[in-house]
A = this chain, B = another copy of it.
Amino acid sequence: SLHRPGQRSVDFPVSVVLPAGGTGERTGLQTPKQFCPVFGRPLISYTVQAFERVSWIKSIVVAVAKENMDLMKEIIQRFQHRKVRVVQGGSTRHRSICNGVLALGEQEEQEAAEGEPKVVIIHDAVRPFVEEDFLFKIAMAAKEQGAAGAIRPLVSTVIATTSEGFLDHSLERARYRASEMPQGFTYDVIRQAYQRCTESDFDFGTECLHLALQYCGTNAKLIEGPPTLWKVTYKRDLAAAESIIKESLCSSGCVITGGSAQAVTLADALQKSAGALDMELDVIPDLLGDHSRYLLKECNFIQVSVNPSGLLELESMLADVEATNRAPLHPLVIIWVCLSDPEELSVSGKTPEFAAIADAAAAAKLRNILLYGIQLYQSKDAERWERSVMRVTEITSALIRERSPALVGQLLQA
Protein backbone atom coordinates (compact mmCIF):
# COMPACT_ATOMS: atom_id res chain seq x y z
CA SER A 1 0.00 0.00 0.00
CA LEU A 2 3.03 2.27 0.34
CA HIS A 3 3.73 1.71 -3.35
CA ARG A 4 2.82 4.33 -5.94
CA PRO A 5 3.67 3.53 -9.50
CA GLY A 6 5.91 6.18 -11.04
CA GLN A 7 4.48 8.07 -13.91
CA ARG A 8 7.68 9.63 -15.17
CA SER A 9 11.02 7.97 -15.67
CA VAL A 10 14.58 9.16 -16.19
CA ASP A 11 16.69 7.94 -19.08
CA PHE A 12 20.06 8.02 -17.34
CA PRO A 13 21.49 5.79 -14.61
CA VAL A 14 20.74 6.93 -11.04
CA SER A 15 22.20 5.43 -7.87
CA VAL A 16 21.64 6.20 -4.21
CA VAL A 17 23.98 6.56 -1.24
CA LEU A 18 22.48 6.21 2.24
CA PRO A 19 24.88 7.23 5.01
CA ALA A 20 23.71 5.24 8.05
CA GLY A 21 26.76 5.24 10.27
CA GLY A 22 25.10 7.19 13.10
CA THR A 23 25.00 5.87 16.62
CA GLY A 24 21.71 7.49 17.57
CA GLU A 25 22.71 9.21 20.79
CA ARG A 26 19.93 11.82 20.36
CA THR A 27 17.02 9.37 20.36
CA GLY A 28 17.53 8.34 23.97
CA LEU A 29 17.53 4.76 22.71
CA GLN A 30 20.11 1.99 22.88
CA THR A 31 19.74 1.04 19.22
CA PRO A 32 20.88 3.52 16.54
CA LYS A 33 17.65 5.00 15.26
CA GLN A 34 17.99 3.73 11.68
CA PHE A 35 17.86 0.19 13.11
CA CYS A 36 14.94 0.77 15.50
CA PRO A 37 11.98 -1.46 14.64
CA VAL A 38 8.63 -0.09 13.56
CA PHE A 39 6.10 -2.93 13.47
CA GLY A 40 8.98 -5.37 13.66
CA ARG A 41 10.90 -3.89 10.72
CA PRO A 42 13.93 -1.60 11.07
CA LEU A 43 13.42 1.97 9.95
CA ILE A 44 16.22 1.73 7.37
CA SER A 45 14.35 -1.08 5.62
CA TYR A 46 11.44 1.29 4.97
CA THR A 47 13.87 3.85 3.54
CA VAL A 48 15.54 1.27 1.32
CA GLN A 49 12.11 0.16 0.11
CA ALA A 50 11.21 3.77 -0.73
CA PHE A 51 14.08 3.75 -3.26
CA GLU A 52 13.76 0.16 -4.40
CA ARG A 53 10.21 0.62 -5.62
CA VAL A 54 11.36 3.41 -7.96
CA SER A 55 11.97 1.63 -11.25
CA TRP A 56 14.61 4.04 -12.56
CA ILE A 57 16.86 3.76 -9.51
CA LYS A 58 19.50 1.20 -10.37
CA SER A 59 21.43 0.61 -7.15
CA ILE A 60 21.65 1.66 -3.52
CA VAL A 61 24.76 1.74 -1.37
CA VAL A 62 24.29 1.81 2.40
CA ALA A 63 27.28 2.94 4.48
CA VAL A 64 27.12 1.62 8.05
CA ALA A 65 29.53 1.44 10.97
CA LYS A 66 31.77 -1.62 10.98
CA GLU A 67 29.94 -3.14 13.97
CA ASN A 68 26.60 -2.91 12.17
CA MET A 69 27.58 -4.42 8.81
CA ASP A 70 26.36 -7.90 9.71
CA LEU A 71 23.11 -6.50 11.06
CA MET A 72 22.56 -4.56 7.82
CA LYS A 73 23.24 -7.67 5.73
CA GLU A 74 20.70 -9.59 7.80
CA ILE A 75 18.12 -6.87 7.22
CA ILE A 76 18.71 -7.02 3.47
CA GLN A 77 18.20 -10.77 3.49
CA ARG A 78 15.23 -10.85 5.86
CA PHE A 79 13.27 -8.18 4.02
CA GLN A 80 14.38 -9.41 0.61
CA HIS A 81 15.94 -6.19 -0.58
CA ARG A 82 17.51 -6.36 -4.03
CA LYS A 83 19.52 -3.42 -5.50
CA VAL A 84 21.38 -2.88 -2.18
CA ARG A 85 25.06 -3.13 -1.27
CA VAL A 86 26.61 -2.48 2.14
CA VAL A 87 29.90 -0.65 2.57
CA GLN A 88 31.75 0.33 5.69
CA GLY A 89 31.06 3.87 6.83
CA GLY A 90 33.65 6.35 8.01
CA SER A 91 34.13 8.25 11.25
CA THR A 92 32.02 11.18 10.07
CA ARG A 93 29.00 11.66 7.85
CA HIS A 94 31.10 13.00 4.96
CA ARG A 95 33.51 10.06 5.16
CA SER A 96 30.57 7.65 5.03
CA ILE A 97 29.04 9.38 2.01
CA CYS A 98 32.45 9.47 0.31
CA ASN A 99 32.89 5.71 0.86
CA GLY A 100 29.47 5.16 -0.69
CA VAL A 101 30.25 7.33 -3.71
CA LEU A 102 33.60 5.58 -4.29
CA ALA A 103 31.84 2.19 -4.06
CA LEU A 104 29.59 3.23 -6.95
CA GLY A 105 32.71 3.39 -9.11
CA GLU A 106 33.61 -0.18 -8.19
CA GLN A 107 30.55 -1.92 -9.56
CA GLU A 108 30.29 -5.66 -9.42
CA GLU A 109 30.43 -7.65 -12.64
CA GLN A 110 26.75 -7.88 -13.47
CA GLU A 111 26.33 -4.15 -12.99
CA ALA A 112 29.48 -3.17 -14.85
CA ALA A 113 27.66 -3.15 -18.17
CA GLU A 114 25.65 -0.16 -17.02
CA GLY A 115 28.78 1.74 -16.03
CA GLU A 116 29.00 4.56 -13.55
CA PRO A 117 25.80 6.31 -12.55
CA LYS A 118 25.13 9.64 -14.17
CA VAL A 119 23.45 11.01 -11.02
CA VAL A 120 23.95 10.10 -7.36
CA ILE A 121 21.17 10.81 -4.88
CA ILE A 122 22.24 11.17 -1.26
CA HIS A 123 19.61 10.65 1.40
CA ASP A 124 19.32 9.93 5.12
CA ALA A 125 18.45 6.44 6.31
CA VAL A 126 16.11 8.05 8.85
CA ARG A 127 13.86 9.83 6.34
CA PRO A 128 11.77 6.87 5.21
CA PHE A 129 8.87 8.74 3.64
CA VAL A 130 10.57 10.26 0.60
CA GLU A 131 8.38 9.95 -2.50
CA GLU A 132 9.13 9.12 -6.12
CA ASP A 133 7.82 12.44 -7.45
CA PHE A 134 10.30 14.37 -5.40
CA LEU A 135 13.20 12.03 -6.22
CA PHE A 136 12.40 12.61 -9.87
CA LYS A 137 12.66 16.38 -9.43
CA ILE A 138 15.97 16.09 -7.61
CA ALA A 139 17.43 13.69 -10.19
CA MET A 140 16.42 15.88 -13.15
CA ALA A 141 17.71 19.08 -11.55
CA ALA A 142 20.98 17.38 -10.54
CA LYS A 143 21.55 16.21 -14.11
CA GLU A 144 20.89 19.71 -15.46
CA GLN A 145 22.67 21.82 -12.83
CA GLY A 146 25.25 19.42 -11.44
CA ALA A 147 23.73 19.62 -7.95
CA ALA A 148 20.28 19.91 -6.38
CA GLY A 149 18.97 19.81 -2.84
CA ALA A 150 15.74 19.73 -0.89
CA ILE A 151 14.85 22.77 1.18
CA ARG A 152 12.07 23.47 3.66
CA PRO A 153 10.83 26.69 5.25
CA LEU A 154 12.45 27.41 8.62
CA VAL A 155 10.27 26.18 11.48
CA SER A 156 11.78 28.53 14.08
CA THR A 157 13.23 31.99 13.85
CA VAL A 158 17.02 31.74 13.55
CA ILE A 159 18.95 34.09 15.78
CA ALA A 160 22.59 35.07 16.08
CA THR A 161 23.95 35.00 19.60
CA THR A 162 26.66 37.11 21.18
CA SER A 163 29.59 35.31 22.77
CA GLU A 164 28.04 36.13 26.18
CA GLY A 165 24.81 34.30 25.31
CA PHE A 166 22.62 37.32 24.48
CA LEU A 167 20.53 38.04 21.42
CA ASP A 168 22.59 39.73 18.72
CA HIS A 169 20.04 39.81 15.90
CA SER A 170 17.39 37.63 14.32
CA LEU A 171 17.54 36.58 10.67
CA GLU A 172 14.97 37.71 8.17
CA ARG A 173 13.09 34.44 7.79
CA ALA A 174 12.10 34.90 4.14
CA ARG A 175 15.71 34.93 2.85
CA TYR A 176 16.72 31.64 4.48
CA ARG A 177 15.75 28.00 4.21
CA ALA A 178 16.52 24.76 6.02
CA SER A 179 18.65 22.45 3.92
CA GLU A 180 17.20 18.93 3.98
CA MET A 181 17.63 15.62 2.18
CA PRO A 182 17.59 14.19 -0.49
CA GLN A 183 20.29 15.90 -2.49
CA GLY A 184 21.42 14.94 -5.97
CA PHE A 185 24.73 15.39 -7.83
CA THR A 186 26.17 14.31 -11.09
CA TYR A 187 28.61 11.55 -10.34
CA ASP A 188 31.44 13.74 -11.62
CA VAL A 189 30.62 16.65 -9.34
CA ILE A 190 30.25 14.66 -6.13
CA ARG A 191 33.38 12.58 -6.84
CA GLN A 192 35.46 15.65 -7.59
CA ALA A 193 34.14 17.49 -4.54
CA TYR A 194 35.33 14.65 -2.30
CA GLN A 195 38.66 14.34 -4.14
CA ARG A 196 39.42 18.01 -3.67
CA CYS A 197 38.07 18.75 -0.20
CA THR A 198 40.23 18.96 2.91
CA GLU A 199 40.50 16.74 5.99
CA SER A 200 38.78 19.50 7.91
CA ASP A 201 35.83 19.37 5.51
CA PHE A 202 35.67 15.61 6.03
CA ASP A 203 35.70 16.00 9.79
CA PHE A 204 33.60 19.10 10.42
CA GLY A 205 31.61 19.83 7.25
CA THR A 206 27.93 19.05 7.13
CA GLU A 207 26.73 20.19 3.76
CA CYS A 208 27.48 18.35 0.49
CA LEU A 209 25.94 21.28 -1.41
CA HIS A 210 28.59 23.50 0.10
CA LEU A 211 31.42 21.20 -1.07
CA ALA A 212 30.02 21.16 -4.61
CA LEU A 213 29.98 24.96 -4.60
CA GLN A 214 33.41 25.41 -3.06
CA TYR A 215 35.33 22.72 -4.98
CA CYS A 216 33.46 22.43 -8.27
CA GLY A 217 31.91 25.88 -8.61
CA THR A 218 28.49 24.24 -8.84
CA ASN A 219 25.58 26.30 -7.48
CA ALA A 220 22.97 23.78 -6.40
CA LYS A 221 19.39 24.14 -7.55
CA LEU A 222 17.18 24.27 -4.45
CA ILE A 223 13.76 22.62 -4.53
CA GLU A 224 11.14 22.96 -1.83
CA GLY A 225 10.20 19.52 -0.55
CA PRO A 226 7.07 18.23 1.22
CA PRO A 227 6.86 17.89 5.04
CA THR A 228 7.20 14.11 4.59
CA LEU A 229 10.94 14.60 4.12
CA TRP A 230 11.18 15.03 7.87
CA LYS A 231 13.94 13.19 9.73
CA VAL A 232 13.53 10.73 12.61
CA THR A 233 15.75 12.32 15.26
CA TYR A 234 14.24 11.77 18.69
CA LYS A 235 12.55 8.83 20.33
CA ARG A 236 9.20 10.61 19.90
CA ASP A 237 9.80 10.67 16.13
CA LEU A 238 9.69 6.88 16.07
CA ALA A 239 6.13 7.07 17.40
CA ALA A 240 5.34 9.62 14.70
CA ALA A 241 6.83 7.34 12.02
CA GLU A 242 4.82 4.44 13.41
CA SER A 243 1.62 6.46 13.18
CA ILE A 244 2.27 7.29 9.52
CA ILE A 245 3.02 3.66 8.66
CA LYS A 246 0.00 2.56 10.70
CA GLU A 247 -2.26 4.79 8.66
CA SER A 248 -1.10 3.18 5.44
CA LEU A 249 -1.50 -0.32 6.91
CA CYS A 250 -4.90 0.20 8.50
CA SER A 251 -7.06 1.95 5.98
CA SER A 252 -8.16 -1.15 4.09
CA GLY A 253 -8.97 -4.81 4.46
CA CYS A 254 -10.42 -7.78 2.64
CA VAL A 255 -13.40 -9.75 3.93
CA ILE A 256 -13.66 -13.38 2.84
CA THR A 257 -17.10 -14.91 3.15
CA GLY A 258 -16.86 -18.49 1.92
CA GLY A 259 -20.01 -17.74 -0.04
CA SER A 260 -22.76 -18.72 2.42
CA ALA A 261 -25.75 -16.37 2.49
CA GLN A 262 -25.43 -15.66 6.22
CA ALA A 263 -21.72 -14.85 5.92
CA VAL A 264 -22.28 -12.61 2.91
CA THR A 265 -24.99 -10.67 4.79
CA LEU A 266 -22.66 -10.14 7.72
CA ALA A 267 -19.73 -9.16 5.46
CA ASP A 268 -21.88 -6.59 3.65
CA ALA A 269 -22.98 -5.13 6.99
CA LEU A 270 -19.34 -4.92 8.15
CA GLN A 271 -18.34 -3.24 4.90
CA LYS A 272 -21.04 -0.62 5.40
CA SER A 273 -20.19 0.16 9.02
CA ALA A 274 -16.43 0.23 8.34
CA GLY A 275 -16.92 3.32 6.20
CA ALA A 276 -17.83 5.30 9.33
CA LEU A 277 -14.40 4.41 10.78
CA ASP A 278 -12.54 5.46 7.60
CA MET A 279 -11.75 1.87 6.75
CA GLU A 280 -12.38 0.47 3.30
CA LEU A 281 -13.32 -3.21 3.08
CA ASP A 282 -13.53 -5.35 -0.05
CA VAL A 283 -15.81 -8.39 0.17
CA ILE A 284 -14.86 -11.53 -1.78
CA PRO A 285 -16.04 -15.14 -1.58
CA ASP A 286 -12.58 -16.75 -1.53
CA LEU A 287 -8.93 -16.25 -2.48
CA LEU A 288 -9.12 -18.32 -5.62
CA GLY A 289 -8.57 -17.25 -9.24
CA ASP A 290 -8.56 -13.53 -9.74
CA HIS A 291 -9.04 -12.93 -6.00
CA SER A 292 -5.65 -14.41 -5.23
CA ARG A 293 -4.20 -11.00 -6.04
CA TYR A 294 -5.24 -9.92 -2.53
CA LEU A 295 -2.67 -12.35 -1.20
CA LEU A 296 0.10 -10.33 -2.84
CA LYS A 297 -1.06 -7.03 -1.33
CA GLU A 298 -0.09 -7.67 2.30
CA CYS A 299 -3.72 -6.95 3.09
CA ASN A 300 -5.56 -7.17 6.40
CA PHE A 301 -7.82 -10.22 6.08
CA ILE A 302 -11.13 -10.85 7.79
CA GLN A 303 -12.52 -14.37 7.48
CA VAL A 304 -16.24 -14.51 8.20
CA SER A 305 -17.44 -17.96 9.20
CA VAL A 306 -20.69 -19.54 10.25
CA ASN A 307 -20.24 -22.23 12.90
CA PRO A 308 -19.15 -25.00 12.91
CA SER A 309 -17.36 -25.14 9.58
CA GLY A 310 -15.52 -21.93 10.45
CA LEU A 311 -12.31 -23.25 11.85
CA LEU A 312 -11.58 -25.25 8.71
CA GLU A 313 -12.11 -22.17 6.53
CA LEU A 314 -9.79 -20.21 8.77
CA GLU A 315 -7.10 -22.87 8.59
CA SER A 316 -7.23 -23.09 4.82
CA MET A 317 -7.10 -19.29 4.52
CA LEU A 318 -4.14 -19.09 6.91
CA ALA A 319 -2.32 -21.69 4.83
CA ASP A 320 -2.88 -19.60 1.66
CA VAL A 321 -1.61 -16.43 3.30
CA GLU A 322 1.42 -18.15 4.79
CA ALA A 323 2.29 -19.78 1.49
CA THR A 324 2.25 -16.45 -0.36
CA ASN A 325 3.83 -14.25 2.29
CA ARG A 326 6.89 -16.13 3.45
CA ALA A 327 8.54 -12.94 4.73
CA PRO A 328 5.92 -10.24 5.20
CA LEU A 329 7.37 -6.75 5.61
CA HIS A 330 4.97 -6.02 8.48
CA PRO A 331 3.00 -8.28 10.76
CA LEU A 332 -0.12 -9.23 8.78
CA VAL A 333 -3.42 -9.08 10.62
CA ILE A 334 -5.99 -11.83 10.19
CA ILE A 335 -9.28 -11.65 12.04
CA TRP A 336 -11.63 -14.58 12.27
CA VAL A 337 -15.22 -13.42 12.71
CA CYS A 338 -17.35 -16.32 13.90
CA LEU A 339 -21.11 -16.07 13.68
CA SER A 340 -22.65 -18.38 16.28
CA ASP A 341 -26.12 -19.65 16.98
CA PRO A 342 -27.36 -18.12 20.27
CA GLU A 343 -28.93 -21.50 21.15
CA GLU A 344 -25.50 -23.09 21.28
CA LEU A 345 -24.40 -21.64 24.58
CA SER A 346 -21.65 -24.16 25.15
CA VAL A 347 -18.89 -21.94 23.78
CA SER A 348 -16.63 -21.51 26.79
CA GLY A 349 -13.19 -20.42 27.85
CA LYS A 350 -12.05 -23.98 27.39
CA THR A 351 -14.05 -25.13 24.36
CA PRO A 352 -12.58 -26.13 20.99
CA GLU A 353 -13.04 -22.68 19.43
CA PHE A 354 -11.07 -20.91 22.16
CA ALA A 355 -8.32 -23.52 22.19
CA ALA A 356 -8.13 -23.79 18.40
CA ILE A 357 -7.75 -20.09 17.76
CA ALA A 358 -5.16 -19.76 20.54
CA ASP A 359 -3.12 -22.60 19.02
CA ALA A 360 -3.46 -21.31 15.45
CA ALA A 361 -2.43 -17.82 16.60
CA ALA A 362 0.66 -19.12 18.39
CA ALA A 363 1.77 -20.90 15.21
CA ALA A 364 0.93 -17.93 12.93
CA LYS A 365 2.85 -15.50 15.12
CA LEU A 366 6.07 -17.28 14.25
CA ARG A 367 5.38 -16.36 10.62
CA ASN A 368 4.72 -12.69 11.39
CA ILE A 369 0.94 -13.11 11.20
CA LEU A 370 -1.24 -11.74 14.00
CA LEU A 371 -4.45 -13.75 14.36
CA TYR A 372 -7.43 -12.68 16.47
CA GLY A 373 -10.98 -13.99 16.78
CA ILE A 374 -14.29 -12.22 17.26
CA GLN A 375 -17.46 -14.08 18.11
CA LEU A 376 -20.92 -12.68 17.59
CA TYR A 377 -24.38 -14.18 17.89
CA GLN A 378 -27.14 -14.35 15.33
CA SER A 379 -30.12 -12.25 16.39
CA LYS A 380 -33.54 -11.57 14.91
CA ASP A 381 -33.80 -8.35 16.88
CA ALA A 382 -32.67 -5.80 14.27
CA GLU A 383 -31.37 -3.29 16.79
CA ARG A 384 -29.36 -5.87 18.70
CA TRP A 385 -27.98 -7.26 15.45
CA GLU A 386 -26.85 -3.81 14.28
CA ARG A 387 -25.20 -3.15 17.62
CA SER A 388 -23.30 -6.44 17.34
CA VAL A 389 -22.13 -5.65 13.82
CA MET A 390 -20.93 -2.22 14.92
CA ARG A 391 -19.03 -3.83 17.81
CA VAL A 392 -17.35 -6.26 15.40
CA THR A 393 -16.32 -3.34 13.23
CA GLU A 394 -14.96 -1.32 16.15
CA ILE A 395 -13.01 -4.28 17.52
CA THR A 396 -11.69 -5.11 14.02
CA SER A 397 -10.55 -1.54 13.49
CA ALA A 398 -8.84 -1.45 16.92
CA LEU A 399 -7.07 -4.77 16.35
CA ILE A 400 -5.85 -3.70 12.91
CA ARG A 401 -4.65 -0.36 14.26
CA GLU A 402 -2.93 -1.62 17.39
CA ARG A 403 -1.39 -4.80 15.93
CA SER A 404 -0.78 -5.91 19.48
CA PRO A 405 1.22 -9.16 19.68
CA ALA A 406 0.03 -9.68 23.28
CA LEU A 407 -3.62 -10.06 22.22
CA VAL A 408 -3.25 -12.68 19.48
CA GLY A 409 -5.33 -15.82 19.89
CA GLN A 410 -8.12 -14.13 21.87
CA LEU A 411 -11.72 -14.85 20.95
CA LEU A 412 -13.35 -11.49 21.60
CA GLN A 413 -17.08 -11.14 22.16
CA ALA A 414 -19.11 -8.68 20.08
In this complex, what residue of B is CB-closest to A224? Answer: B165
Q: Which residues of B contact A244 (CB under 8 A)?
A: 236, 239
In this complex, what residue of B is CB-closest to A375? Answer: B349
| Pair A156/B167 contact, Cβ less than 8 Å | no
Q: Which of B159, B239, B354, B397 contacts A209 (CB 8 A)?
A: B159
A230 located at the interface, meaning its Cβ lies under 8 Å from any Cβ of chain B in the complex:
yes
Residues of A209-256 at the interface with B, using a CB-CB cut-off of 8 Å, are 209-210, 213, 219-223, 227, 230-231, 233-234, 236-244
A149 located at the interface, meaning its Cβ lies under 8 Å from any Cβ of chain B in the complex:
yes
| Pair A209/B175 contact, Cβ less than 8 Å | no
Q: Which residues of B contact A178 (CB under 8 A)?
A: 155-159
Q: Which of B158, B209, B351 contacts A158 (CB 8 A)?
A: B158
Among the listed stretches A58-66, A290-298, A404-412, which one makes contact with chain B, having 4 or more residues with CB under 8 Å of it?
A404-412
Q: Which residues of B contact A157 (CB under 8 A)?
A: 178-179, 206-207, 210
| Pair B179/A222 contact, Cβ less than 8 Å | no
A345 located at the interface, meaning its Cβ lies under 8 Å from any Cβ of chain B in the complex:
yes
Q: Which residues of B contact A236 (CB under 8 A)?
A: 230, 240-241, 243-244
A348 located at the interface, meaning its Cβ lies under 8 Å from any Cβ of chain B in the complex:
yes
A339 located at the interface, meaning its Cβ lies under 8 Å from any Cβ of chain B in the complex:
no
A356 located at the interface, meaning its Cβ lies under 8 Å from any Cβ of chain B in the complex:
no
A413 located at the interface, meaning its Cβ lies under 8 Å from any Cβ of chain B in the complex:
yes
Q: Which residues of B contact A231 (CB under 8 A)?
A: 155
A167 to B402, CA, bound (A): 44
A92 to chain B minimum Cβ distance, whole angstroms, is: 14
Interface string of A344-383 (1 = CB under 8 A from B): 0111111100100010000000000000000100000000
| Pair B395/A354 contact, Cβ less than 8 Å | no
| Pair B206/A179 contact, Cβ less than 8 Å | no
A151 located at the interface, meaning its Cβ lies under 8 Å from any Cβ of chain B in the complex:
yes
Q: Which of B26, B147, B222, B410 contacts A159 (CB 8 A)?
A: B222
A161 located at the interface, meaning its Cβ lies under 8 Å from any Cβ of chain B in the complex:
yes
A85 to chain B minimum Cβ distance, whole angstroms, is: 28
Q: Which residues of B contact A395 (CB under 8 A)?
A: 406-407
A156 to B375, CA, bound (A): 52
A341 to chain B minimum Cβ distance, whole angstroms, is: 12
With A156-B178, A207-B170, A413-B358 given, is the CB distance from A398 to B404 under 8 Å? yes
A222 to B152, CA, bound (A): 25
In this complex, what residue of B is CB-closest to A150? Answer: B156
Q: Which residues of B contact A243 (CB under 8 A)?
A: 236, 238-240
| Pair A213/B167 contact, Cβ less than 8 Å | yes
Q: Which has the most chain B C-beta neighbours within 10 Å: A167, A206, A237, A240?
A: A167
- With A151-B159, A160-B175, A345-B350 already in contact, 8 other A-B pairs whose C-beta atoms are closer than 8 Å: A154-B158, A159-B177, A159-B209, A166-B222, A167-B210, A347-B348, A349-B411, A395-B407
List the 7 closest pairs (A to B, CB-CB), nearest first: A239-B243, A348-B348, A398-B406, A156-B178, A236-B240, A394-B406, A166-B219
Residues of A within 8 A of B (CB): 26, 145, 147, 149, 151-152, 154-162, 165-167, 170-171, 173, 175-180, 206-207, 209-210, 213, 219-223, 227, 230-231, 233-234, 236-244, 340, 345-351, 354, 358, 375, 391, 394-395, 397-398, 402, 404-407, 410-413
User: What are 17 inter-chain pairs, A to B, with CB distance below 8 A?
Assistant: A152-B156, A155-B178, A156-B179, A157-B178, A158-B171, A159-B176, A161-B222, A167-B210, A167-B213, A170-B179, A171-B176, A347-B349, A347-B350, A349-B411, A395-B407, A402-B404, A412-B412
